[in-house]
A = this chain, B = another copy of it.
């Protein structure tokens, strides 16, 4: 178990709960495997139906089945889905995504995405249901006329999450006409803003189009800029499983990030394949697996040896 620095916005009386949430989310490794399930708002139904997408994905229950069976650290989704399915999937570690916007508004400028609910609503919900709600998530779009409102909301959410012993994860996206979303220096800037906000983890874009280890090395700038706020990379659109595993390994071991946010790469697969892939990813993220071992496990060429299944928080 890595030693962690509890942010001072977590009051003493909530240290135990924060630690419990942090260790559960990171399998006590300090790194977070976030299963992103907020695309029903962000991308409407396009991520769930179509060519190359498993037919199981048409129903939101598929998300819960994966979250329940695969060794993810948190399943990030909106409260409404948790309210409808949570009773049947009580052991999933949840992170409530507080905001969301659809892609019907075309363009990248002056985006706005308000928090749907207050942190106190989530705390009340957790109290009423005893679900494993480990934290909250909020997306910030930097660069538009609403930046100021979103930074204010984000700071408030981080503070209130911590006051209640919950983790705070910020999705940080610079967006706008003249903004290159794949520019590592810009991504690093966003990570620094998340640090100023006091987030525990910041979810940022990774330039997957640049396919070499040099990118992972350059990405160290992002990790440094974030300071004690830990960086997790967005998985993005569905990729070839082996490539995705490779990227994840490079991000963790070369760039030095502390986690991954995978959404489409998991739920667009049928349940067994999603579980296999998630297992390989978790080995890298939480258990320092070598790339070879992770790939071998995914391909079924190797059983999980070095890491006992019990490490996986009893999810197998």
Contacts and interface: CB of A to CB of B under 8 A. Distances in A.
Interface of A: 5, 7-9, 11-12, 38, 40-41, 44-46, 48-49, 58-61, 77-88, 99-102, 104-106, 112-117, 121, 125, 128-129, 131, 142-145, 147-149, 151-152, 154-156, 158-159, 162, 174, 176, 178-179, 185-186, 188-199, 221, 224-225, 227-229
Contacts of A8: 82-84, 86-87, 125, 128-129, 131
A212 to B, nearest CB: 21
Contacts of A48: 192, 225
A149 B78 CA distance: 16
A61 B227 contact: yes
Given A8-B125, A8-B128, A80-B196, 19 more contacts: A7-B80, A8-B83, A8-B86, A8-B131, A9-B80, A9-B83, A40-B193, A44-B190, A45-B188, A45-B189, A60-B192, A61-B227, A80-B197, A84-B195, A85-B227, A100-B196, A102-B142, A112-B148, A117-B159
**How many copies of this chain are found per oligomer?**
5
23 contacts: A8-B84, A8-B128, A8-B129, A9-B79, A9-B125, A11-B128, A40-B192, A44-B185, A44-B186, A49-B188, A59-B227, A78-B198, A79-B155, A80-B195, A80-B199, A84-B198, A84-B229, A101-B147, A102-B147, A102-B193, A105-B143, A114-B148, A114-B151
Contacts of A12: 128
B193 A162 contact: no
Contacts of A9: 79-80, 83, 125
A72 B80 CA distance: 27
A147 B227 contact: no
A30 to B, nearest CB: 14
Looking at A77, A83, A142, A199, the one whose CB has the most chain B CB atoms below 10 A away is A83
Given A115-B152, A176-B104, A44 B192 contact: yes
Contacts of A125: 8-9
Contacts of A221: 45, 49, 58
What 4 pairs between A and B have smallest CB-CB spacing?
A44-B189, A80-B198, A104-B143, A116-B155
Contacts of A41: 151, 192-193, 196
A114 B148 CA distance: 6
Given A189-B46, A225-B48, A227-B61, A112 B145 contact: yes
Contacts of A199: 80
A145 B45 CA distance: 20
A195 B81 contact: yes
